[in-house]
A and B are shown apart, each in its own frame.
Chain A
Amino acid sequence: QVQLVESGGGVVQPGRSLRLSCVASGFTFSSYAMHWVRQAPGKGLEWVAVISFDEKNKYYADSVKGRFTVSRDGPKNTLYLQMDSLRTEDTAVYYCARGRRDSTGYDHFDLWGQGTLVTVSS
């Protein structure tokens, strides 16, 4: 079954860290660019980060640059988002999403996970 399953969300204090994971199944994970997209409660969609299929390219939204790091583990079919120095405005549902095959990141997203909620609060 082709799917993405996120985990790692929770409640965290401002300034602390959290690592999200996204396990892919049913497709050749290493052939696709992978993205993180977030959605604050009751708000619209915000793209966060991408890692290209070959890991050579990574891009970030300005709002998270220098604080978040995207990575992937091919043998584990897993995408990660390391989130440091968290702020209250990072509170959102975080989705992983599949980009295009063999892409460097300029993608639409044809497969989404169900999302994991991150709440940053003291």
Chain B
Amino acid sequence: DIVMTQSPDSLAVSLGERATVNCKSGQSVLYSSNNKNYLAWYQQKPGQPPKLLIYWASTRESGVPDRFSGSGSGTDFTLTISSLQAEDVAVYYCQQYYSFPLTFGGGTKVEIK
């Protein structure tokens, strides 16, 4: 199984400041035949299902604000919120879809400082 490790477990950021969430996979999720990283990011607010933000490590889902961006390749990935807004308070998860079982990181809780 590919273990997904997120850091930090939680972070508090001032409104308008940058928030950075890290995700490390236990093995590479880069598929060499198509040069794609099988890595997605989700946002989950209390009482709601997760919402897809980023897939293929850096492709923003339609309708997601451009303050959200994803980067990284191989085993190390980052979700960046460039200017934190009040509505971004949530738990963020990374997920690999390179191999079964599909696995998620443990989540990072983002709060307002």
Is the Cβ of B49 less than 8 Å from the Cβ of A107? no
A61 interface hit (Cβ, 8 Å): yes
A23 to chain B, nearest CB (A): 15
Interface residues of A toward B: which range? 20 to 34
Given contacts A44-B107, A47-B103, contact A115 B98 (CB under 8 A): no
Task: Provide 5 A-B residue pairs closer than 8 Å at the C-beta atoms, listed in order of the A residue.
Answer: A44-B105, A106-B99, A109-B40, A110-B52, A110-B55
Which residue on chain A has the smallest CB distance to residue B99? A106
Give Cα A114–Cα B52 distance, bound, in whole angstroms.
14
Which residue on chain A has the smallest CB distance to residue B39? A108
Of the candidates B61, B95, B98, B101, the one whose C-beta lies within 8 Å of that of A61 is B101
Number of residues from B at the complex interface, CB < 8 A: 23
Interface residues of B (CB under 8 A from A): 38, 40, 42, 44, 49-52, 55, 61, 93, 95, 97-107
For the residues of B in contact with A, the DSSP-based class is: loop
Give Cα A45–Cα B94 distance, bound, in whole angstroms.
10
> Which of B61, B100, B103, B105 has the most A CB atoms < 10 Å from its CB?
B100
Which residue on chain A has the smallest CB distance to residue B105? A44
Is the Cβ of A112 less than 8 Å from the Cβ of B97? no
Give Cα A46–Cα B102 distance, bound, in whole angstroms.
8
A56 to chain B, nearest CB (A): 15
Give Cα A62–Cα B104 distance, bound, in whole angstroms.
15
Is the Cβ of B101 less than 8 Å from the Cβ of A108? no
Is the Cβ of A45 less than 8 Å from the Cβ of B51? no
A-chain residues with CB within 8 Å of residue B50 when the two chains form the complex: 45, 95, 109, 112
